[in-house]
Structure 1
Amino acid sequence: TVTSLGGDGIDVLYPIINPPQVAIVGAGAIRDQAWVQNGQIIVRPILVLTLAADHRVTDGRVGSRFLRTIADLLAHPQSL
């Protein structure tokens, strides 16, 4: 499941799993932030994603890989 409060200006949220869900991704607001790229400070849009998961079904490593995949797809939408 995915939930987002970014439209309400919330930057970070910690969603709660509702049975029978196994996991839920939270998406905050996209904000321009300073970012270091190739030794230079640039301004770029940043989106904070969070993941809550039932550890009886999965573990943090699987969740981490899942979020990394989502982040990579969002950073390179042409790969979809």
Structure 2
Amino acid sequence: MEQLRDLVSRARAGRLQRAEMADPTITVTNLGDLGVESVYGVIYPPQVAMVGFGRVMEQPWAENGMIGVRHAAIATLSADHRVSDGMRGARYLARIEELLQKPEEL
């Protein structure tokens, strides 16, 4: 965590070394803190995909025959189909959902 904090701090200050930077392939954006519910991104080469996260909202949720309320956020994926297909993108989003259900394991 200390190394990550250092890296983030230097990135925000614009002081990363060239070896620490590379062209992105996947961009992650979160506009939820600005109140945006969902993000539909545009991919700029050399990127091949963009994952967007909206704000966390209380949503009605049905599971095992029970209805309740839970916190949820919309995650979207914009992808270049020349690089991958929709099935792989769906699996990627499903894996993100699995990981976010147990953030202590990240």
Moved over 6 A (4+): none
Q: Which has the higher helix share?
A: 2
Cα distance in 2 for partners of 1:76, 1:42 equals 20
Deviation per CA, 1:1-50: give whole Å up to 9, x if none.
Answer: 10111011111110111111010101000000110122221110011100
Distance in 2 (CA, whole Å) between partners of 1:33 and 1:57 is 34
Task: Say which structure is richer in strand.
Answer: 1
Unaligned 5+ segments in structure 1 are none
TM-score, reference length from structure 2: 0.71
Structure 2 alignment gaps of length 5 or more: 1-26
Root-mean-square deviation (CA, aligned residues, Å) is 1.1
- Out of 37, 44, 47, the residue aligned to residue 18 of structure 1 is 44
- Relative contact order (C-alpha < 8 Å, sep 6+): which is higher? 1
Aligned length: 80
Q: Percent identity?
A: 50
| Structure 2 Cα separation of the partners of residues 65 and 78 of structure 1 | 21
Instruction: Output the TM-score relative to the length of structure 1.
Output: 0.92
